[in-house]
Amino acid sequence: MSIVLGDNRYGKAENQIVRITKEGPVHRIKDLTVSVALSGDLDATHLTGDNSGVLPTDTMKNTCFAFAQRHGAVEIEEYALLLARHFVDSQPSIGHARVAVEEHAWERIGEGPHSFARTGGGTRTCTVHYDGTDVWVVSGLKDLTVLNSTDSEFRGFVKDEYTTLAEAHDRILATDIHAQWRHSGASGESIESGDWGKSYERARNALLEAFVRTHSRSLQQTLFEMGTRVLQECPELCEVRLNLPNKHHFLYDTAPFGLDNPNETFIAADRPYGLIEGDVRRDDAPDAGPAWT
């Protein structure tokens, strides 16, 4: 029997970068979590301890901060592309870079030019892969909590000897949206000249519009409608992946207190929870390559 080295990568994870852009007394804030992973001709460091091809992870960290300072408050996809290209094109031993960025939103407090409050409207995300020739860009968001107080039901499901769940004809539907969407091109200007900010806003709005307008017979149905709406509204995208935990709300029994509860007071249960996951894509979507890796 012989033992061989399999796939491997290394990098610097969760660099916390805050970049303030100062336009006179008016400031803007860019709050990022940046993770870098590199792979390539790195067998020697694993097999013999030869580090001659290893770019230190501390250098990766410094590069992330230097690029934030040099390039300013660009869109996170553009920033990730700049980093990925730099690491691959400047290092002979590196053949592939994955750069993942999360952007944490802040909003101004009143009319204060430099005062901000952290928002709860979800976290914008992106992941970029670059192999020296092609790029793959996946944008998205996570932790966007939404709720419909009606227009949701769940009935007609399989029942066996272990089923105790009653059918619901009018229920609360709540979830934390975790969504990622893949841009269509694998290389060339079609991706890199994209208006990332406008594309993100269109996709986010499409997710929310579908959630609002769908009379849900299951969270699975809602998932498909959300993904479909994104692809209809965003021709630059070819695939949407959704992860939707079902944030259960159960009607609370107020009868012991002599009170009627006509579907108005609920207990929110945080676990266990149903987890609905799905992939919605165009039938002519190009090969995903390493985009989801």
Nearest-angstrom CA–CA distance, 131 and 186: 11
Is residue 57 among the annotated active site residues?
yes
Candidate list 33, 45, 57, 228, residue with the active-site label: 57
Catalytic site residue 248?
A: yes
Q: E strands along the chain, which residues? A: 10-23, 26-40, 94-104, 106-108, 116-118, 123-130, 135-148, 173-183, 237-246, 249-251, 266-268, 274-281
User: For 181, phi and psi rounded to 5 degrees?
Assistant: -135, 135
Which is nearest to 153 in space by CA: 177, 170, 141?
170
Annotated catalytic residue within 12, 96, 129, 247: 12
Closest of 29, 174, 168 to residue 106, by C-alpha: 29
Using N-to-C axis directions, what is the helix angle for 219-233 and 196-213, rounded to 10°?
A: 140
Q: Note if the bond before 256 is cis, omega within 30 degrees.
A: no
Task: Give the contacts of 120 (CB within 8 A, at least 6 positions apart).
Answer: 145
Q: What tokens does 216 get?
A: 């849900």
Annotated active-site residue 178? The verdict is: no
3-class secondary structure per residue, 56-119:
CHHHHHHHHHHHHHHHCCCCHHHHHHHHHHHHHHHCCCEEEEEEEEEEECEEECCCCCCCEEEC
Residue of 30, 129, 247, 248 with catalytic role: 248
* Residues with catalytic function: 12, 57, 248
